[in-house]
Amino acid sequence: MRWLRSERYLLLHAIEVAQVRPVGADELHVNALDDLAYFQQTERWLPREAFVAEARRRIEEEGMRLYTAVEQRVLVHYGWLVPRQKRSWFPYVRQHYDYPEGTAVLFNAYTHPAARGTGLHTRSMMRRIADGAAQPGAHWVYTAIESHNQASRAVAARCGFKCVDVLFERIHFGRVQRGRMSPADYFTTIEHRV
């Protein structure tokens, strides 16, 4: 029961544009709406119709970029880039976060179970970082990762991201505490307990 005791930590990672490495050619498509037809529902919480409708809306109305990879008529990977973002709402910790000026944001990457372990997530993240860094006026590229997602944290570290901030939500017998902490505090007081 979450109201008894729950601790959630969201790690915000950033890379300065000057530190971004160039990337070579890859199998990823950008805003290829035809790729959406190959989406297969592998998670109960994400029905095909909802995914396709939301992807179209984000691309057409919000100017976001969807990076996709299709193999054998299956959408095996997708990941998002917001070319310029000032603020995000994170439902996981129920908080807003204000980014520094000139920030591109990566979010919501998913790799189909059949394609995991192939390096696709790493290639996608590297490409999205490079494309975000190439935007006029870009100074930073950010991504947020739930603390328990060790696989994504490892990919982010390989791609050059560093943890720069931590948002948290703690619930103890119905009392809710939300806030921020430094990465140093998180890694010395929280991470070692897990």
For 4-61, how does the pLDDT look when each residue is reduced to its tens digit (9 = 90+)?
Answer: 889 999 999 999 999 998 898 889 999 999 999 999 988 788 788 999 999 999 999 9
Question: What's the gap between Cα 155 and its chain centre?
Answer: 11
What the block records as the tokens of 38 is: 């190959």
Structure confidence at residue 193 (pLDDT): 65
Q: Can you give the pLDDT at residue 160? A: 97
Question: Which 3 state secondary structure label does DSSP give 2?
Answer: coil
pLDDT score of 144: 99
Query: How many beta carbons lie within 10 A of that of residue 117, not counting itself?
Result: 10
DSSP class per residue in 168-186? EEEEETTEEEEEEE-HHHI
pTM: 0.93
Residue 43 has a pLDDT of 78
Amino acid at 114: A
Percent of the chain clearing pLDDT 70 (strictly above):
97
Pick the CATH number of 20-162 from 3.40.50.720, 3.40.630.30, 1.20.1050.10, 3.30.450.20: 3.40.630.30
